[in-house]
Structure 1
Amino acid sequence: MEKFTVHHGTAMPLRRSDVDTDQIIPVRFLNHSERTGHAEALFADWRTDPGFVLNQPQYQGASVLIAGNDFGTGSSREYAVWALLNYGFRAVVAPRFGDIFHGNALMNGLLPVTLPEETVERLWDAVTAEPARRVTIDLTESRLRCGEISASFHVEEGARRRLLSGLDLIADTLRHEDTIAAYESTRRSAMPATTSL
């Protein structure tokens, strides 16, 4: 997983609330289990509208998505996070996220930034008025900056540490491999054990 420390990029204003995972990536595109190759399916049903924000040239290359309330609700599909990452987003800013989407995002290196609705609306206005305006998301300080807007956000400490280190849950656990092996070596032989093949 790629480390997330300080990210600088432009932002895309998705002025929609209640965006569920089937709108992020429709179920008909869930036909292979690889983490890559999902960018074209991102918001596929909405991209048929030429006025949809992903089709607007001034937002091409944006790496921060600014969305409305309840982003990522619905099913638990990890594909929604993969599609956003494959498209090039490193962070999604919203007032509230679906719980499972929020967890999936953190486990895959996509930073969900929760900010108050009024701050999100100010960000929408700022990047709509000036699409080339840079947004800085500093996970080391837990702060987002965009022009005159500066807002702190919270990420649970374990997830924050893993993102800063670029470790997924398995890699984080394997940092303790020697301790785990030492513990396993002291277990009674009659107790259940897991062995590798």
Structure 2
Amino acid sequence: MKSSTKRVIGNVSVGTFLAGVVAVLLVSHFDPNFLRNDPELTAEANAGTPIVQGPIVPKELPTAKASTAAEIEDARQRALELGRSAATWDKNCVAWNPPEGGGVQQQWANRVGASWLNSAGARCPDALTWPYYFIDGFESTSAGELKVTLEETAAADPHLLQGEPHTIHLLGDEILDATKGQFTDLTSIELSIRGDDVRWNVAVDDRA
């Protein structure tokens, strides 16, 4: 194709484009709504447009102290939703509330339990590793006798009752060894799983 012919075709194309632009401008001048969006069509289009989310803020385990039953249950549910197990949900010790009443013996049991936790560098059992996180409370009804109760979920852990002596028995040995120096009136530790009648006993005299 000759260059002169190409120029003619090019000029015609440019002229056609310019004529189209002029026509659009003229129509928009006489019809102000020509180039405006149709509200209904815009709404339909936006309805199918994905919403851009802001930064995702990761959820955290509860940290506020829980005192009432409702607060404790709410904190537990939040921890379970984040993947904590039923035995370890209170990692931040928000629900660890030793009994304030119970008389002299219970207050003594609270002190022995707190002493053992402190020796392990924790404020509550759930902040520790297996099998300590199963501990649900410390009690005492007789002078020198400490009762350590494990939560019901411990019954489903077969490893606690393996070996000879059982791991649960060794847990009592460890608590006794860590506290008998400070509490010279401590004579024995009884361990049990809540809801179970079986008892495991560790006595100071047996370790002399």
TM superposition score category, shorter chain reference:
under 0.3
- Give the structure with the larger helix fraction: 2
More relative contact order, 1 or 2 (CA 8 Å, 6+ apart): 1
TM-score, L = length of structure 2:
0.24
- Give the structure with the larger strand fraction: 1
TM-score, L = length of structure 1:
0.25
